[in-house]
Homo-oligomer: A and B are copies of this chain.
């Protein structure tokens, strides 16, 4: 199939597909006599893998690692699980982090919504450090 078809089937735009090839996440496919890329079912599977892993927050570097493990087979499952757990930990840490941001922002707008304040409490919180323990 052409790159346009692969794009349509995966929801991944053409430029990104070529980008993945450039950085070694997708293999260089064969070409037509005129130089157009030709993809097969394996390419489709691999690109879908990349998309799903990215959607779960894996970096492209981690995706490369997962793909290498998938190519190896044998003894890879434990390592894959380790990577997935690490990713899960990171996602959870990020959620905690955002939860703290949410709390501070929520408090800020709540103080503001009370109305009848001479100075803006949000700007004051930012200028004078209402809460240093964020970030």
Contact = CB atoms under 8 A, between A and B. Distances in A.
Interface stretch (A1-9, A17-25, A31-39, A75-83): A75-83
A103 B15 CA distance: 30
B88 A126 contact: no
Given A57-B98, A80-B120, A91-B102, 7 more contacts: A48-B129, A51-B135, A70-B127, A80-B123, A81-B122, A91-B101, A95-B102
B84 A122 contact: yes
A77 B112 contact: yes
Copies of this subunit: 2
Interface in A53-72: 53-57, 66, 69-70
A40 interface: no
Contacts of A76: 120, 123
